[in-house]
Amino acid sequence: MIGVLLLACNQQQKESDQSAADCLESAEAAFANDSVRLGESLLRKTIHLAEKTEDWHTYYIAYQRLAVALSQGNHEEALRLMKKALTIYEQHPDDERNYVILLDYAGTYAAQVAFPTDGPYDEAFDFVHRAYDIAEKNRMTDLMCQTLTSLANIAWAKEDYRQALDYAHRAEPLATTDLLSGTLQVLARSYLSLNMLDSAETIYRRIEPGDDVHLAYIVQSNLAKISLRRMGATKVEEDVDDAFEQVEDFYYKALEQKDQYYQETLRQEMENQQLEYRSQMYSRILLVVIIATVLILLVVVLALRYRLRMLRQQRVYEESKLKNELIIQEQEKLRLQEETEHQKTLLHQANEVVAFLQNYILERTEVVKKLNQSSDSPVNLNPREWNEIERTLNAIDGNRFANIREQYPELQEDDIRLCILTRLGLSNRNIGNIYCITISAVQHRKLKLKKDIFGESNPDVTLEQILTR
């Protein structure tokens, strides 16, 4: 298990150490060996690594290479990828030569997208003209030739053969050795499209294919067309076109088979390397496992002895700690009880003080003095005195009677006054003197008020308790 982990860590480390530039180099090597699918996979990995490490140069170059790889089968995707490469370059510019190349590729792919539908070529011309202007401004002769050749190809695709011929003539004197064949191809193709057969044949015979099989096929097929066209053999020319198209299909299929063979060979080599590496690793793992097993057993024995000793010490410590905690809890409990009793005492004293102050205030009120007269003579209070005693009670009782008036709007003024007299603690006799009624009549009024207004049917609950509540 340890060996497997080491192997996985080594592989992850190798992958993390690979830079975007290294991955791009591997992709170029795959394309050089005609391994298209492997190259595309490596380019996508390059894009991911370059974005992650902010290697902007490799980032847009990888998009450019991927667009080139996809251009044979998917022109729309190639154009999209090239526009992405242009966006990255314009955000992080470095070498203007690369900018010219990106614009030239974008124009070529835009023309390829427009060609099947005879669509507008404005976007294609715009990209390549921008590329040519930058190349001309910086006197990049080879790129001037390349962009003029691209403009000639776009004009030819647009069937503007005279303009294509003009661009190709301007590119020819600027062409370097590696660009000359491409420039001569579009020049000859333009002559052929204008049915200028002698000029077309002269240009095609100037092209030297060398080891380039595909270029040799193009030259020979067009020379054959020229010969057939001179003889007026239109049907034979069409048959030759079909034959050359079949040959081209065979060529691309051969490339695909070569790609598959290369990938299969590469896969076998990788598997053999992995098997050899695993064999070496397994022998090392076995040795590591034996040593690790001995060390683990030794560590386990020592750890068990240490653990038992620690458990004994911990048990003694926890017992001592538990005793101390119990003592502290008992002390805390006693302290809390003492504090509770002290708080109760303080609260009782505060309540007594408040009650004393309330009674003191009431006793000093002139109206209350008048009500507390012990004589049996009737006591008459005017509305101002009733209001005064109610305000006093509201002040010392927290707006008790204001709340009662709000909660029980059905109370009559006489009922409110009876409640006020009850709150003041006047006896039924004194209340009877105020209302000039008997004591039993006072009791009856209290009972009626308690049941009808406050809804209390318990005979043990008095009106005084209801008002206090």
User: Which residue range is the domain that position 435 belongs to?
Assistant: 366-468
User: In this structure, which amino acid lies at residue 296?
Assistant: I
Confidence (pLDDT) at 85: 93
Structure tokens at 443: 């009791």
Confidence (pLDDT) at 12: 44
Confidence (pLDDT) at 7: 44
- In a domain? residue 69: yes
Residue 354 Ramachandran class (φ > 0 left, ψ -120 to 50 alpha, else beta) = alpha
Using the 8-state DSSP alphabet, how is residue 28 labeled? H
- In a domain? residue 93: yes
Confidence (pLDDT) at 376: 61
User: What CATH number did the domain enclosing 183 receive?
Assistant: 1.25.40.10
- Report the candidate in 157, 208, 162 with the shortest Cα–Cα distance to residue 184: 208
- In a domain? residue 272: no
Query: Cα(334)–Cα(337) distance, rounded to whole angstroms?
Result: 5
Confidence (pLDDT) at 118: 80
Question: What does the CA dihedral 267, 269, 272, 276 come to, rounded to 10 degrees?
Answer: -130
Query: Cα(213)–Cα(111) distance, rounded to whole angstroms?
Result: 26
Query: Cα(52)–Cα(30) distance, rounded to whole angstroms?
Result: 23
Residues of the chain with pLDDT under 50: 1-16
Confidence (pLDDT) at 463: 80
Number of structural domains in the chain: 2
The model carries a pTM of 0.50
Confidence (pLDDT) at 349: 62
Tell me the DSSP string of 355-386.
HHHHHHHHHHSHHHHHHT--SSS-----HHHH
Where is the domain boundary, 206, 222, 246? 206
Where is the domain boundary, 181, 206, 231? 206
- In a domain? residue 373: yes
- In a domain? residue 327: no
Where is the domain boundary, 206, 226, 259? 206
Confidence (pLDDT) at 16: 45
- In a domain? residue 339: no
Confidence (pLDDT) at 399: 86
Confidence (pLDDT) at 235: 57
